[in-house]
Structure 1
Amino acid sequence: MRLLMLGAGGIGGYFGARLAAAGVDVTFLVRPARAEKLAAGGLRVVSPKGDVTLAVKTITRATEPFDVVLLSCKAYDLDSAVDAVAPAVGPSSFVMPLLNGARHYAALDERFGAERILGGLAHIPVTLDPDGAVRHLGALQRFTFGARSDAQKPVCETLFQDIRRGGFEAILSENIEQAMWEKYTLLAAYAGLTCLMRAPVGAIMTADDGEAIANAFLAECAAVAAAEGFAPSEAALAEARTLMTTRGSSGTASMLRDLEGGGRTEHDHILGDMLARARSQGIAAPMLAVAYAHMQAHEARRTAKG
């Protein structure tokens, strides 16, 4: 299948590079400056799973349809991303978002039609170095996707034959919405905890109430997921709890890394949306409320500085 990857940043750059290195037909839609860098030095991935530098196909403007368009943008860039990929979405095309959270599906369904939007998510700690290299920060490299309707199952099965060639953990989920909500539960709790405390998990666990605060975040987010019809499994909750309470851990949510780097964050899309869902369901969520207010205050100061 012909795949179009929007962007060659952390997530898109990592999975796109692995797929391209395996011979999958991947084209990257990037800004002109990024295209020039990739043309000059290739797409470089630095990873515990093996480094790779390779020449990749790039375009700076979509002009023809692709079989599958993968969106790996930040949530606050979704509107411009949708406009950029629209010419690549033809009558037989599908779109797979790899964004965090859940709110973006409504916008994508409205723009392209729900029948064209597949479910997807990525579990990987990754960042983009100042020199443009994609840096993988750990061993986890999981790519999960699936059909949101029975009619999408054939294209997902065909796509899986390409995705599984990438050398990372590829999962074709039979219940992608459940998988998405389990990740959303973890991510919102993890981001809320580490951003509110401005510290990695290990440092938070040295506080007298650190573990209790972590568990309170997780309980609130799990309650929202359950009310939405996607109660996290015990295995998913155990995995989240371990991630958020391991003593000595240097782990932080990517939102904290964005915050500390002085850039924009996805707090509205992740924390704000989770809090709004809690309130619409009548669920008390004091930890989410404080964490979201904290991020709103930070954003107000950031934008005031210009």
Structure 2
Amino acid sequence: MAARHALGQLRTEVAKAVVGQENTVTGLLVALLCQGHVLLEGVPGVAKTLLVRALAAGLSLESKRLQFTPDLMPGDVTGSLVYHANRAAFEFREGPVFTNLLLADEINRTPPKTQAALLEAMEERQVTIEGAARPLPDPFLVAATQNPVEYEGTYPLPEAQLDRFLFKLTVPLPTRDEEYGVLKAHHQGFDPRDLAAAGVRPAATAADLAAARQGVRRVQVADVVLAYIVDLCRATRSAPSLELGASPRGATALLNAAKAHAWLTGRSYATPDDVKAMARPALRHRIRVRHDEALEGSTADGVLEALLRTVPAPR
């Protein structure tokens, strides 16, 4: 299929700027196919911003970066009405949310009031100002970043907003070989601010994404695989180490992600392996480990790993 080939080429283009991070790239592609949003968590300097910019460049899509700070106001995100005295009229001035790929950098550094300005955009794909709904471009994806090791001066995202993200992707530090490749590229003149000079070229278009989404919708899911997704999510609600399990929205997200993963792999049907591959990114931010268990070293990923081992998967 032409759309699948185009997205395969997109991986190649992103790799010209970002060394490694294949799982993160896969997660971003799946989110685009599912019309979902992604929370990227990683320490500073692991190419989170560069990854989103390279993806936008490889897709010929508009991308904007918004630095979230404590003094950021909701209107700075969505836009606002501006009064023109010479015309005695108000005019709507679009905010940075009116783009295809919005990089919401350090989203947890802004107060909840401003964080909530993204809720309607992420869920309804529109912004309502003074009663008038203004649709956002299609495709539209929010890629929000946060630093997992620095909490001073931050405002953790509430569960309701976390649930709006299809995935929470952990961006790891590179391996030794990958870090060597990063240094070699910089030594040879790579400039992360100039992706065109790095050779990143458009490989797919919005039309390719639309065709790919149609393909994902046609992916077949057997009843036993549907039941497996339900059993996994219900197991999170009864796990003794968790105080909050995955909601039905989480089960729907896992289903859609498994279908997109199957399509990217080249299959017209989803398998339990697709579900297992997508379970951690789709559910890790929708569950909450009990405080006493967290003090003992339990993590969301660890709990999900145990559930994937214990919940019977169909053969």
- Tell me the TM-score normalized by structure 2: 0.26
Computing the radius of gyration from Cα coordinates, the structure with the larger value is 2
Higher percent of residues as helix: 1
Bigger relative contact order, structure 1 or 2 (CA pairs below 8 A, ≥6 apart): 2
